[in-house]
Amino acid sequence: MSRRLGLGAFAAGLLAAVLSALVRATTPLSEFDVPNADLSLSTGLSAAAVALAGVLGAFTDQWLGVLVSFGVIGFAVTFALQQPILSFIGWFYILVSRPYAVGDRVNIGSVPGDVAEIDFLVTTLWETGGPLASNQPTGRTVTVPNSLVLSSEVVNYGALFDRVWTEIPVQVSYETDLPFVRRLLLDVADGPTVNVAQVESWVVFRLRVLVPPTRAQRVKNRLYERILDRLADHPDRVSFPVSRNR
């Protein structure tokens, strides 16, 4: 009886290992499939271990030792699958708590981007910023393991409100009609605020406006053009700082 059970375990483990190997051999691997490939490899190794334990039990009749072996194997498999398991738990946490969804602009750990896809093990982001000076998409994708959600901070720019504050600095000289510039800036956008800072050679007006997180740079570009056009219409009241090299 024990031999039959052992041979059955051997056959089941061998079949699972062969099927896992066939799947890995026939499935093209892309950069987004690396965690899935690791999971498939670990599954194949686990199946092979089950088959080996079945052979030992069949030919030695030492099922107590086989059970101990299964315990050791189970510990080893759990250790090997630690990251995939944590990533799966992270995926479940994302589904329940919804720290972000597809289309949100986020920072996961130190990785900024727009959420493109949420899978069982990974989240794919369209990278923003990167080598670019603005916070616009770079065209690159970044794959982040879902386990990172459990161990690092997640910043969602539109979780509670679909707008974020952004600032547009405008520098003018001290000879400028400062109250006029302040009124002009308040007129170029809906519901803005204006902060003023003095530096050594000029005055900085900082126009604060609410913008959609994924379109902040485009809105800033349009406002900059509108502000510069309005300021250029009043050269008698507005002047800009001039840098003089010594």
Place of tokens 């952004």: 166
Average pLDDT of the chain, as a whole number: 75
CA 21, 23, 24, 26 torsion-angle sign? positive
pLDDT at residue 151 is higher than 70: yes
- The string of pLDDT tens digits covering residues 198-235 is 877 889 999 998 888 888 888 888 999 999 999 989 88
**Nearest-10 crossing angle of helices 63-80, 34-60:** 170
- Report pLDDT for 190: 76
Please, are residues 226 and 209 in contact by the beta-carbon 8 Å criterion?
no
pLDDT bin (cut points 50, 70, 90) of residue 122 is: very high
> Please, are residues 48 and 6 in contact by the beta-carbon 8 Å criterion?
no
Q: What is the pLDDT of residue 144?
A: 93
Phi, psi of 113, rounded to the nearest 5 degrees = 170, 175
* 164-232: CATH architecture: 2-Layer Sandwich (3.30)
Domain 97-156: assigned CATH number: 2.30.30.60
Which pLDDT value is given to residue 55?
Answer: 57
For residue 10, pLDDT beyond 50:
no
Which pLDDT score, from 0 to 100, does residue 22 have? 47
Percent of the chain with pLDDT over 70: 63
Task: Locate 202 and state its tokens.
Answer: 């000029």
The answer on pLDDT for 145 being more than 70 is: yes
User: Which comes out higher in pLDDT, residue 238 or 23?
Assistant: 238
- The confidence score (pLDDT) of residue 64 equals 54
- 230 versus 74: the higher-pLDDT residue is 230
pLDDT at 53 over 80: no
Average pLDDT in the 162-174 region? 87
- Tell me what the mean pLDDT of segment 132-152 comes to: 83
The 3-class secondary structure across 10-63, one letter per residue, is HHHHHHHHHHHHHHHHHCCCCCCCHHHHHHHHHHHHHHHHHHHHHHHHHHHCCH
Residues 140, 124 contacting (CB under 8 angstroms): no
Instruction: Please report which helix (H) or strand (E) contains residue 213, including its range.
Output: none
